[in-house]
């Protein structure tokens, strides 16, 4: 590629190129020349800060990262739970698109919002095949899984990597926050931990379970209909005379206590 331009103190020359399918790092090289002056030899460009930003890479090396999947969608259900409820049963579905240049998935991570607690995975399936729990991470046999929780993140390792496009379903339980009411998103990601050149890929929200009519969301509303520990009510009077019209009644409700109130 040859670029010609008049004299300027600095020059930015945008260009496009097709990315190789093989991961790895390669160096671009460039030279400058004064083609209008005979006897002037081309000069190789030295790598350094050419754009005035000393904080960027200041490099001519470009790294092509491999990908575990071409794309991945994710959704969670249910999408509404009660404040301070315990052992809520969640289903996280992922739908992967794995092409020839992708390495496949052997790790799935779920990041729960703050104040969720006691996260525990209790079931995994890959492309409809149930995986067997093996607590001995990471020594897994084929079609086994293990799950480790660190803070708000659950990491699920697969003994058999998913290398064909399809569904990964993770069943887990978690206790809801006991203070904050509102909608917050879970985050799901996939990785091929066996291939160092592969970066973790965050899932995009979408229809991952094949049901276009459900929420297709990673958002969970904490609160919903059951936001109190109890509601006490009574009607007075509690005895009335038969066949009397327009009897005056009153319903008394004790102000409810919100979950999480002290």
User: What pLDDT is stored for residue 190 in this prediction?
Assistant: 98
pLDDT of residue 259: 44
- pLDDT tens readout for residues 14-65: 777 776 666 667 787 777 666 778 777 778 778 888 778 888 888 888 766 6
Rounded Cα distance, 158 and 96, in Å:
15
- Are 248 and 186 part of one and the same domain? no
**Domain match, 196 and 239 both:** no
C-alpha span between 90 and 226 (Å, rounded): 18
Cis amide leading into 31 (omega within 30): no
Q: In terms of domains, do 243 and 194 share one?
A: no
What per-residue confidence (pLDDT) applies to 2? 61
- Identify the segments of the chain with pLDDT beneath 50: 226-227, 229, 258-262
Q: Please check whether residues 119 and 159 belong to one and the same domain.
A: yes
Residues spanned by the domain of 99: 71-222
Torsion angles phi and psi, residue 139, rounded to 5: -80, 85
Q: How far apart are CA 50 and CA 21, in angstroms?
A: 29
Q: What is the pLDDT of residue 184?
A: 95
Residue 262: the pLDDT is: 42
Of 64, 90, 109, the residue that ends a domain is 64
Are the CB atoms for 72 and 97 separated by under 8 Å?
yes
Q: Are residues 34 and 59 in the same domain?
A: yes
In this structure, the answer to whether residues 254 and 147 fall within a common structural domain is: no
Domain boundary, last residue among 45, 64, 83: 64
- Domain end position, chosen among 17, 35, 64: 64
pLDDT for the residue numbered 227: 43
* DSSP string covering 187-218: EEEEE-TT-TTBPPEEPEES--SS-TTS---S
pLDDT at res. 170: 98
pLDDT for residue 226: 47
- Asked if 7 and 96 sit in the same domain, the reply is no
Give residues with Cβ within 8 angstroms of 150, minimum separation 6.
none
Q: State whether 203 and 86 are in the same domain.
A: yes
User: How many structural domains are present in the chain?
Assistant: 3
| 14 and 138 housed in the same domain | no
Residues 238 and 213 in one domain: no
Q: What local confidence, expressed as pLDDT, does residue 46 receive?
A: 87
Residues 241 and 197 in one domain: no
- Domain match, 138 and 199 both: yes
């Amino acid at each position: 590629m040859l670029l010609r331009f008049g004299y300027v103190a600095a020059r930015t020359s945008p260009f496009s190129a097709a990315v190789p399918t093989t991961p790895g790092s390669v160096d671009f090289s460039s030279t400058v020349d004064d083609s209008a002056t005979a006897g002037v030899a081309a000069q190789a460009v030295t790598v350094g800060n050419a754009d005035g930003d000393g904080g960027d890479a200041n490099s001519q090396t470009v790294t092509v990262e491999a990908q575990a999947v071409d794309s991945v969608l994710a959704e969670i259900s249910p999408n509404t739970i009660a404040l301070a409820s315990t052992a809520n049963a969640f289903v996280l579905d992922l739908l992967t698109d794995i092409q020839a240049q992708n390495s496949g998935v052997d790790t799935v991570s779920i990041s729960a919002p703050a104040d969720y607690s006691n996260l525990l995975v209790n079931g995994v399936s890959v492309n409809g095949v149930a995986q067997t729990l093996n607590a001995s991470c990471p020594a897994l046999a084929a079609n086994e899984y293990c799950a480790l929780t660190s803070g708000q993140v659950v990491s699920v390792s697969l003994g058999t990597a998913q290398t064909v496009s399809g569904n990964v379903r993770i069943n887990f339980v978690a206790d809801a926050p006991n203070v904050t009411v509102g909608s917050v998103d879970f985050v799901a990601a996939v990785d091929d931990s066996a291939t160092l050149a592969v970066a973790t890929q965050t899932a995009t929200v979408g229809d991952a379970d094949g049901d276009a009519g459900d929420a297709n969301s990673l958002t969970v509303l904490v609160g919903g209909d059951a936001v109190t520990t109890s509601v006490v009510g009574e009607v007075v009077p509690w005895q009335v005379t038969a066949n009397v019209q327009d009897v005056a009644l009153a319903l008394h409700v004790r102000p409810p206590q919100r979950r999480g109130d002290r």
